[in-house]
Amino acid sequence: MPRLHWRSNNFLERVETMATWPPGTKCEDDPVRPNITERERFLYGREVYALWTYAICCVAYCDDVPKTEKELATMAGLDIAVFYTVWSYKKGSGSKILNLLIPYFQDKKPWVKRFVTLSPKTEMAHNFHLKNGAEEFRRNKLTVNYEYKPEPYYDKSRID
């Protein structure tokens, strides 16, 4: 699995296949969406990122903000990154992976214009996303969408 070595060697990795999960991590550990199969996480328009062996984040690229898992499964697009599950094996790593992914996408995937979640309606998810700078975008019947509005990204290497 190639390491992105992005921003101070944080070992942010894109998991490329089902066979390349970081050591000690596995799809079945997902406490948020255990019903989404490993195969579904690697379909077109879906990616899995790992912060070494500390945290996992699954991302879907969509053209709209999904309200349900069913909508998530049928949507495709480019400009909205939907973080549909984040889990960690080490305290603070869930926050860290999100705080690394958003500027990484701004730098490496400039066509992504929005960063949202498909989160469960739990106090834990609510506190996690608000603590990490998200705003509640929409309350749905079974889920909540939070939106991260990051600071504009400037690639300092391109500025004279």
Is 139 inside a domain boundary? yes
Nearest in space to 117 (alpha carbons), one of 65, 78, 79, 71: 65
- List the domain range (segments joined by +) for residue 86: 12-158
Q: Is the pLDDT of residue 119 over 50?
A: yes
Secondary structure element (H or E) that encloses residue 13, with its range = strand 12-15
Locate 63 and state its tokens.
């053209």
Q: pTM (2 decimals)?
A: 0.88
Is 48 inside a domain boundary? yes
Is 45 inside a domain boundary? yes
Indicate the number of domains in the chain.
1
- CATH number of the domain at 31, please: 3.40.630.150
Nearest in space to 46 (alpha carbons), one of 4, 70, 15: 15
- Residue pLDDT, tens place only, 20-56: 888 888 889 999 999 999 999 999 999 999 998 899 9
